[in-house]
Chain A
Amino acid sequence: MIHARGLARTFEGRGRGKAKEEVKAVAGVDIDVAEGEIVGFLGPNGAGKTTTLRMLTTLLKPTAGSATVAGFDVATQSQQVRRSIGYVSQSGSTSPEARAGEEVMDHGMLYGISQKQAESRGRELFEQLDLEGLWERKPQAMSGGQRRRLDIAMGLVHDPTLVFLDEPTTGLDPQARANLWTHISDLRTRRGATIFLTTHYLDEADALCDRILVIDHGSIVASDTPDALKRQVAGDLVSLVVADASKAAAAAELLGRIADTEVEVTAAQAGTGAQAGAGVSARVRGAGHEVAGLIRGLDAAGIDLDSIEVRRPTLDDVFLDLTGRSLREQGA
């Protein structure tokens, strides 16, 4: 559905001293999305996600490279591309004082479908997206979640086979997010749509996507399934809190035997006894197998544990691994 080669966009900014400055927002990305896939485009703010999306949706001309979307060239066949895709932008799509149903109908009619068709498609979408009874409602009187679903209805009114969603759940509360995820995955199961979404939420990419493209500083640094990406990180994180800090070295030695990375020892505040405890942690491949033996070993050596935690790698770990920075540091 999407094939992009070397897609790039440079903006001409003006730096201090009025010298022209070229800002590379997207530095030549290759993207391939097959029919029926849900692909996540993951990266921190300013990584080039929205710029790439705007190029793929014909809102922005690439400065280099080429892309075909739904079988049409974005540069030379923009009309056909626009007809085939739905785009749900992060800034919304309806006037706050307009009426929801009319916005959806007008939008459908701009795609060339008749008023009647637009109305029946709109009402059907309202039903599917849990917006029944809101046809006459003004978007300003809707909740954030309802407005996002209305935006999705706007993007789907002409029955596109490929849907772009730009940060679909940004600014929503957790329940509304979970609810929206159901609706997004429904798009594929019910309508067979291909979905390309950008996000800077790892859990979102994890929950929704078959495949994830990680973008940083305008380049794609990884492309794989969430699980494969997580497997790239060297194993699960095993963290022990040793009750007696003086035995931390012994515990570290035992953990080191099964660990795939250096063992880290930190002074933990978690000590419950008279003495402060110590944290001992390392990454262990297949920790589920190894931990039972570790605990027996620790027990035999007379090392008491305050706690033990095994954490599967998250996409945040993946991102940290790939870019040396945590996604969370960027803020939301």
Chain B
Amino acid sequence: MFWRETSIVFRRQLRMALRNPAWVIIGLVQPILYLCLFGPLLEPLAGTLGAENAYTLFVPGLLVQLGLFGALFAGFGLIAEWRAGVIEAERVTPASRTALLLGRILRDVLQLFVQGLVLIGLAFLFGLTGSLPGMALGLVLTVLLGAACAAASNALALTTKSEDVMAPVINSVALPVLLLSGILLPMTIGPQWLQVVSDFMPTKYIVNAIRELFTGDFWTITTMWGVVWTLVLFAAGLWVGTRTFRRENA
């Protein structure tokens, strides 16, 4: 029952997303632009940054950025749906509230997965080398992080019910996270204080873990911390999301 309901919601969301390919295209073009327009700047710096291959450094960062940003903005669509009465209409059906959330998250996760595949595939053309299983695992971590962000974003959307409230909240969270996670450049090249501040950013550990995975280092402390943080964020995101969707009057 639960999975059937989830899949009904998921297919509805996917159908609507594919009918409006503008967003799908924008979602795919973004990582490509980063790769084409920013990647070449990193290539000569790779050595200085402590990496043999600029793209094993850069692609994991882009993956996490996709996971964070794409998914954090997922909630905006939910506000529009809420305003159109769709959420309320779904809530008077006997369908599980968790299924209503999960079906939506799965759409975001699928989009993220495809974006990640395109990004990694394209990076090979630019000269990415590394461990394929590591990349697959890195993509899995990205998708889990994205699911957490999408769940949190949907919860925030359903709580605020206003784009005007939500946009500043998301932006004020996303920008520091982006800067302090070492997404574009590793934090290790920064001054001591900046490194200390970034130590409090769970996503930094995830980026670092994905970088290690890309180079084939599976069994390191860094990788372990990244996996742990991903799972913690994933669990927390889903918990907040389902709690909000189950709450009456949400």
Please classify the interface of chain B as helix (H, G, I), strand (E, B), loop, or mixed, using the class held by over half of its residues. helix
Within 8 A of B (CB), among A18-65: 54, 57-61
Interface string of B86-121 (1 = CB under 8 A from A): 101111111100000000000000000000000000
- A110–B90 contact, CB under 8 A? yes
- Selected interface stretch from A87-95, A123-131, A193-201, A259-267: A87-95
- B92–A59 contact, CB under 8 A? yes
- A106–B92 contact, CB under 8 A? no
Distance between Cα atoms of A57 and B20 in the complex (Å):
34
A79 within 8 A of B: yes
Name the residue of chain A whose CB is nearest to the CB of B250: A59
Neighbouring B residues of A82 by C-beta, 8 Å: 92-94
A107 within 8 A of B: yes
Given A110-B8, A112-B1, check contact A59 B91 (CB 8 Å).
Answer: yes
Neighbouring A residues of B4 by C-beta, 8 Å: 109
Q: Which of these, A85, A93, A102, contacts B89 with CB under 8 Å? A: A93
Given A59-B248, A111-B93, A112-B1, check contact A91 B83 (CB 8 Å).
Answer: yes
- B88–A91 contact, CB under 8 A? yes
Neighbouring A residues of B83 by C-beta, 8 Å: 91
Name the residue of chain B whose CB is nearest to the CB of A79: B94
Distance between Cα atoms of A79 and B94 in the complex (Å):
5
B243 within 8 A of A: no
Given A95-B81, A112-B1, check contact A57 B92 (CB 8 Å).
Answer: yes
Given A60-B248, A102-B15, check contact A95 B86 (CB 8 Å).
Answer: yes
Distance between Cα atoms of A261 and B9 in the complex (Å):
62
A154 within 8 A of B: yes
Within 8 A of A (CB), among B37-60: none
In the assembled complex, the CB of A103 is this many whole angstroms from the nearest CB of chain B, namely: 8
B5 within 8 A of A: yes
- A98–B16 contact, CB under 8 A? yes
Number of A-B contacts (CB under 8 A): 77
Neighbouring A residues of B5 by C-beta, 8 Å: 110
Q: Which of these, B1, B19, B86, contacts A93 with CB under 8 Å? A: B86
Neighbouring B residues of A58 by C-beta, 8 Å: 92
In the assembled complex, the CB of B14 is this many whole angstroms from the nearest CB of chain A, namely: 12
Name the residue of chain A whose CB is nearest to the CB of B248: A61
Name the residue of chain A whose CB is nearest to the CB of B93: A110
B133 within 8 A of A: no
- A110–B95 contact, CB under 8 A? yes
Neighbouring A residues of B248 by C-beta, 8 Å: 59-61
A173 within 8 A of B: no
Q: Which of these, A54, A87, A106, contacts B8 with CB under 8 Å? A: A106
Neighbouring A residues of B20 by C-beta, 8 Å: 97
In the assembled complex, the CB of A133 is this many whole angstroms from the nearest CB of chain B, namely: 20
- A93–B249 contact, CB under 8 A? no
A96 within 8 A of B: yes
Name the residue of chain A whose CB is nearest to the CB of B89: A93
Distance between Cα atoms of A124 and B128 in the complex (Å):
57
Distance between Cα atoms of A106 and B248 in the complex (Å):
23
Name the residue of chain A whose CB is nearest to the CB of B1: A112
Given A60-B249, A110-B5, A110-B8, check contact A85 B92 (CB 8 Å).
Answer: yes
A83 within 8 A of B: yes
Given A60-B249, A109-B8, check contact A94 B84 (CB 8 Å).
Answer: yes
Name the residue of chain B whose CB is nearest to the CB of A93: B89
- A102–B86 contact, CB under 8 A? no
Distance between Cα atoms of A151 and B86 in the complex (Å):
10
Distance between Cα atoms of A154 and B91 in the complex (Å):
13
Neighbouring B residues of A87 by C-beta, 8 Å: 89, 92
Name the residue of chain A whose CB is nearest to the CB of B15: A102
Name the residue of chain A whose CB is nearest to the CB of B86: A95
B176 within 8 A of A: no
Distance between Cα atoms of A154 and B89 in the complex (Å):
8
Neighbouring B residues of A111 by C-beta, 8 Å: 93-95
Neighbouring A residues of B84 by C-beta, 8 Å: 91-96
Neighbouring B residues of A151 by C-beta, 8 Å: 85
Mind listing 5 A-B residue pairs with CB under 8 Å? Answer: A59-B92, A82-B94, A92-B85, A95-B80, A112-B1
| Closest A-B pairs by Cβ, 10 of them | A93-B89, A92-B85, A91-B85, A110-B93, A110-B95, A87-B92, A82-B94, A93-B85, A106-B12, A109-B8
Extra 11 A-B pairs, beta carbons < 8 Å, given A93-B84, A107-B89, A112-B94: A60-B248, A61-B248, A82-B92, A85-B92, A92-B89, A94-B84, A98-B16, A106-B11, A110-B5, A110-B90, A111-B94
Q: Show the binding face of A for B, using Cβ within 8 Å.
A: 54, 57-61, 79, 82-83, 85, 87, 89, 91-98, 102, 106-107, 109-112, 151, 154
